[in-house]
Amino acid sequence: MIDHSTIQRILDSADITDVVSEFVTLRRRGVNMLGLCPFHNEKTPSFTVSPAKGIFKCFGCGKGGNAVNFIMEHESLSYPEALKWLARKYNIDVVEEEETEEQKQLKDERESLMIVSAFAQKYFTRNLWEENEGRTIGLSYFRERSFRDDILKKFEVGYSPDGKAPFTEAAQKQGYKMEFLEKTGLSIKRDDWVRDRFAGRVMFPIHNLAGRVIAFGGRILKDDPKAAKYLNSPESEIYHKSKVLYGIFQAKREIARTEKCYLVEGYTDVLSMHQAGIENVVASSGTALTSEQIRLVKRFTPNITIIYDGDAAGIKASLRGIDLVLEEGMNVKVLLLPDGEDPDSFAKKKGASGFREYIDENETDFIQFKTRLLLKDAEKDPVAKARLISEVIRSVAVIPDTITRSVYIKECSKLLDVNEEILYTEVRKQKHKQNEEFRKKEMRGQREQSLNPTPGPSQKQQPEPIPAEFLIEELEFLRFLLKHCNTVIFEEEGENPNEIVEVKVSEYMIDELENDDLVPGNPLFRKIFYEVKDNMDNENFDPWKYFVYHADAEVSKLATDLLSEKFIESKRWTKAGAFTEKEEEILDYLVPRIVYEYKLMRIKLMMAEIELAIGSASKENNFDRIIEEQSKYMNLKRVEKYLSEKLGSRAIN
């Protein structure tokens, strides 16, 4: 349990822009910051951060909240876990009571997998530096490859001792369950035996964007033709290899700063480039490049340079996957290293300045690179050249921006010595083909959806709706209650002679509803309503901060929506014929109207219920009940007339 004062320190320290920038590149637009939403796939930024209000809001998928909500959503953490994450970021000590066995068991599976992975990383790292086997075998391997200690510690590399199951036994002695050791892939269990997956390998922890270990890559050090040179963790609840890039946690700040990302293949390539002073680098870890990985880079920069080693045949095999980068609208360049070199060896040989100089002189636009590469095999073969044109145009056609696409067509026309109109015709054919494929994919997705109501990947994500149980009058009532809570709206005569009493918005709105017994049964409304009431005498009460940072996620989200959403457009009011948009200037006029609108809505709902009751009583021939309900109805009708006269013709629809 985290005490209230510590929670307040965390909330006071957590700057929304600082927190979100850990995961998204934000660019200023007016008073707000804008970026690509990390919660759904979008190509046009709709994810907004308001530094002044301390909130984020995506107008594409509807997610919103404060810094704690963001970490909860992005890292799939509970409220206390998100607070601890922020506490670590801002170096705030969190003292807690020791967890009971019951509390430990209540941790969800995802967090359990994270905890086991964190233990494994510390175990492997300690073995590398402190145990004899780790130093003589694991550390010697890194020293032979000239890696500095600071780089090894930066990436938290380690060593998994050889043997049947030393790691598994150590983990179980510390109380970690076999269930989670298996699910992370750290241990392999069969009916009659258990063994360590990574025994005898140097270990490369794979971190997520927040810096938490989610998986491992292990390199074998002994000659074993039956064993894979590199072995990765299997897919799990916390690790999906298609959505992860090795080194993204260590590189993200430099990627955002330099507005560029280098993509390499392996773990040691990343380490060597960091050692050479080039830190904006990530690795695909031997997997084919995926759309999710590309979008991960795109959060921080639209510019990517792919560094290749190996022969031309291997490069050609990879070209199709790179089209995904173009499709995401990114600026792609390719760097081919000299024969026999990879980023690891070349970085050590050239150093930072030499490597950067080579990059500046040799990186090539992807389309040019692909054209020249394929042209070598097709110069004297007309049929092969025709295939080449189709292959290159297929890449050009996926580029979403029309102007960029036309520039590439002009360049390809020169390189291939083909008329531009012919290339434009080919692009149109390719676009038509892509649209047909997309349409078929959508139809397949719809068919799957009709059979299985669970949302599929082909479905377009819709914005989260405002809670259906709220009516517009209730939302507007709450918005005014929170926004203008402490503002003085009226001055009244007090009980004593010449005494003037100031009436705040919150006092007026709360009294009006309580006196008429019109506080709705909606639990969320009541929670906010009565917590405002409880704090009316607190001079330091800031309702926006209080509710935006509320421990109840539903309350926090609603407060964020009321503060930022477009679902309630600020009403443009007229008073005495004058037009104004500034609510603060006419609160004495607006607040009573909001209250009357709310009351009128409640009265109409009550009248509708009575009409149903009268209909039911008529069917039962219950005349006493009919008379009773009609009497209630007439009373409400008089109230309706009174409220309508108060409002005139300006009722909120």
The token pair at 573 is 């009011």
What's the gap between Cα 244 and its chain centre? Answer: 14
Mean pLDDT for all residues in the chain: 82
pLDDT one-digit tens code per residue, 387-410: 777 777 777 887 877 777 788 888
pLDDT confidence band for 575 (50 / 70 / 90): very low
Residue whose token pair is 């040799």: 362
Cα atoms in the 13 Å half-sphere on the side-chain side of 126: 8
Residue 175 has pLDDT above 50, yes or no: yes
The token pair at 212 is 């938490």
> Greater confidence, 269 or 493?
269
pLDDT one-digit tens code per residue, 101-146: 555 554 577 888 989 999 999 999 999 999 999 999 999 999 999 9
The token pair at 250 is 């260590």
pLDDT confidence band for 228 (50 / 70 / 90): confident
Q: Where are the alpha helices (DSSP H) in 29-177?
A: 67-75, 79-89, 101-106, 109-130, 132-133, 140-144, 149-154, 166-173
- How far apart CA 437 and CA 320 sit, in angstroms, is 16
The token pair at 269 is 């390539």
Under DSSP, the state recorded for 138 is: I
The token pair at 258 is 């330099």
CB atoms inside a 10 Å sphere around CB 401: 10
